[in-house]
Structure 1
Amino acid sequence: MVDRRTFTALLAGSLAAPTLAFGKTMTSKNVFYSAVGPELTPYSVDVDKAELSKQAPVSTAANIQYAWPHPSKRYLYVVSSSGGPAAGDVTGSTHVANAFAIDPKTGALKPHGETVKLATRPIHTSVDHSGHFLLIAYNNPSSLTVHRINADGTIGDRVEQPNKLDTGIFAHQIRVTPDNKHVILITRGNNAPSDNHVDPGSIKTFAFKDGVLTNLAAIAPGDGMHFGPRHLDFHPKKPWVYVSIESQNQLAVYKLDDAAGLSRDPLFVKNTLADANSKLRQAAGAIHVSPDGRFVYLANRAWWTSDFEGKKVFTGGENSVAVYSINQTTGEPTLIQNADGHGNYLRTFNLDPSGKLLIAAPLWAIAVRDGNTVTTLPAGLVLYRVGNDGKLTFARKYDNEATEQKQQFWAGMVTLAS
């Protein structure tokens, strides 16, 4: 059972949540996109006031899994699937990639080119720094594809890979290194405490040239059976890579390497939780380095439930954004805050380019117990002001209708093209 202090913290900012203005005129060069089920909604952003204004949504053929902007900021690439936990069908039958043109004045989205059919459920996508290639990771079976991006921004042909690639078990993220010479595939494995199938996790690195990948290294401590990496982000100025280790609730720091893509061993490994001795199951999640490289932010998630009077209610745990300061000489992160998440399961979040505003997106609404009373903690968009010291101050929460059946699976910030 959740104690009264935890219950109160969970509901803080939710009971009197502000209503989103729809179509309100707002001067903004930043747009925040939120995907709930198959629907993708743009919100113009007022960074100084920490306010959002909702715009007209667009839809895809299935539940949106992830999205990534083109370097030009004129196109947004979205991968969707009818598979996954929200659908109650892990496999699914509809898997697609779409390009959308971004209106440079408003951030409104318009379908751009043909829908591309994919073989299995995509879990992550990104674009290389040249803007010529769209990379997609698939979790089950674990794999990846590379697709050309045409000169007009539409999705082109798939690049055939002449080499047999080591794509591990349960791929979860695919990123291109800042020099555009390497690709890193995070493969989570399955090694959390209650996983039915226990599999090793690993970080796979590849050489990358003209859309073609070549195996370089598989990086994991020991046999990888106690290593569940989920996501990474790059320092904007230094050769440091920050990796969230999901099932071990850790933050690991690696160094970029010209030969292997990434150092074999981490430079540092840090805890992510406010209470490192908690016995409740936890999972580290999304991670982002601040635009100035002084801080790194990482989501802690807890979403497990137990039965109470015929209802599934939240068992308890930490839903927060962990804040670390970064030593600019060594790259070492130091935990300075665990900011309350004001929602359950912060699957994604993002910062605006100035680093003054962070917006987090809880995955779903969840039933919460306080004594013999059960109430619902809604999903929504949670806005925090970012101080000069990197710490977060809760600004407001806009509730939305994301549920376990229609999840807020991805959200992210895009700066509009000039």
Structure 2
Amino acid sequence: MQYAWRHPSKPYLYVSTSNGGPRVESDCNHVSAFAIGADGALLPHGESAPLPHRAVHMCVDPSGRYILNGHNYPSSGITVHRVAANGEIGDRVVQATALDYGIYPHQVMVTPSGRTAVIIDRGNKAQGDKPEEPGALRTFGFTDGEFSAGGVVAPQGGYGFGPRHVAFHPSRPWLYASDERTNRLYMFRYSESGIEAAPAFTLPTLRRPEWLRPRQLGGPIHVHPAGHCVYVANRADHTVADGDRKVFTGGENNIAVYGIDAETGEPTLLQHVDTQSFHIRTFACDPSGRLLVAASIKALDVRDGETIQHVPAALSVFRIEADGRLEFCWKYDVETSGRQLQYWMGMAGLD
């Protein structure tokens, strides 16, 4: 399972799956529909549709008429499928024009109006003799499931710019982006004509940005349903050998909480709250805005004095206070074994 998205108005969940992984070839890739029962149970709904490659991210457009899957290996692209009136997956929309989807797309989103698609192109950091590949936010016109050429936002040419995910404010033309490679939060203003060329505001996401550890990465981002706060995950999972085991070398695994100025959209740091787990790849606010749940991807070992503690993958549950701050409530351990990962989580309200 790679990613999932609920239909915006009907009780259906769409799920993208693959037998591959990051930079790993795959030959079994699909998007499937499930009906959400009154008790939350999922039932297969219609036939799955094949995908050409692993989907790193997917979404359903605000009208609920199209499913978009973003691909970044072995080549960049977006696959679009129609959604039938009964919620089943329809035919694939063949794109008439070849477009530039970037170096390493990591997310595909559609603006609240439904008229613009956005590819979040993370780029790649420099490694060994391989120079940095710049990142960008790429926009495309989106009409009847088809893309048309749009614009490219790449501050400083995209160097030192590594956006991973974006989130739209629910009522204002403000886009918030997390930078995976530089651990930053950006706020961009946008309109149907495009995203502004430079962020209006930029803030660090780390509690101690001067104390950077290996594999310290910016993560997922979500705006509170009421629009008064934005949340960003900081994640770290680097290990070194310690006897016959590998142990965590340090870094921040927390949720950064920012208040949003109602007039300007400027984010202001309110809090860092530890997840008490490692490498939060996904998290979500419940539709009522009262709870936030963060999912760590895997278990890690941590040295604690003379002993090594095994910390399982987990779901960390937080209560959201009136001002948006988080209060840790509970942690539910999740069993993973071998190469198994807790790769996606989300929350859906039951009608």
Q: Tell me the TM-score range normalised by the shorter chain.
A: over 0.9
User: Counterpart of 2:158?
Assistant: 224
Match runs of 1:7-406 below 5 Å: 64-84=1-21, 90-103=24-37, 105-140=38-73, 141-191=75-125, 198-260=132-194, 262-281=195-214, 282-403=216-337, 405-406=339-340
Over 3 Å counting, the alpha-carbon distance change for 1:201 and 1:154 in structure 2 is: same
Q: Distance in 2 between matches of 1:92 and 1:313?
A: 30
Over 3 Å counting, the alpha-carbon distance change for 1:269 and 1:314 in structure 2 is: same
Which residue of the other structure, out of 343, 348, 351, is the alignment partner of 1:414? 348
Over 3 Å counting, the alpha-carbon distance change for 1:409 and 1:138 in structure 2 is: same
User: Counterpart of 1:45?
Assistant: none
Over 3 Å counting, the alpha-carbon distance change for 1:243 and 1:207 in structure 2 is: same
Whichever residue aligns with residue 236 of structure 2, its letter is A
Q: Distance in 1 between matches of 2:43 and 2:292?
A: 26
Whichever residue aligns with residue 137 of structure 1, its letter is G
Deviation at 1:81, TM superposition (A): 0.9
Q: Distance in 1 between matches of 2:128 and 2:12?
A: 40
Deviations 1:201-231 (A, max 9, x none): 1111001110011121111112213111000
Q: Distance in 2 between matches of 1:189 and 1:152?
A: 38
Deviations 1:104-137 (A, max 9, x none): x111101111121111111111011111100000
Q: Provide the secondary structure at the position in 1 that maps to 2:262.
A: coil
Unaligned runs of 5+ in 2: none
Higher normalized contact order (CA 8 Å, seq sep 6+, divided by chain length): 1
Deviations 1:153-197 (A, max 9, x none): 111111111111110011111111011110111011111678966
Over 3 Å counting, the alpha-carbon distance change for 1:74 and 1:290 in structure 2 is: same
Q: How many matched pairs?
A: 349
Q: Provide the secondary structure at the position in 2 that maps to 1:298.
A: strand
Whichever residue aligns with residue 50 of structure 2, its letter is K
Q: Distance in 1 between matches of 2:28 and 2:60?
A: 22
Deviations 1:308-334 (A, max 9, x none): 112221111000000000111110101
Deviation at 1:371, TM superposition (A): 3.0
The question of whether the paired residues in 1 share the 8 Å contact of 2:51 and 2:79 is answered with no
Deviation at 1:373, TM superposition (A): 1.8
- Superposed structure 1 runs of 4+ greater than 6 Å apart: 192-195
Q: Provide the secondary structure at the position in 2 that maps to 1:216.
A: coil
The question of whether the paired residues in 1 share the 8 Å contact of 2:126 and 2:133 is answered with no
Q: Distance in 2 between matches of 1:120 and 1:163?
A: 19
Deviation at 1:84, TM superposition (A): 1.0
Over 3 Å counting, the alpha-carbon distance change for 1:405 and 1:187 in structure 2 is: same
Q: Distance in 1 between matches of 2:21 and 2:64?
A: 29
Deviation at 1:302, TM superposition (A): 0.4
Q: Distance in 1 between matches of 2:27 and 2:291?
A: 38
The question of whether the paired residues in 2 share the 8 Å contact of 1:191 and 1:227 is answered with no
Deviations 1:302-357 (A, max 9, x none): 01111111222111100000000011111010111110011000111111122111
Whichever residue aligns with residue 399 of structure 1, its letter is D
- The farther-off stretch of 161-170 and 294-303 is 161-170
- Percent identity reads 46
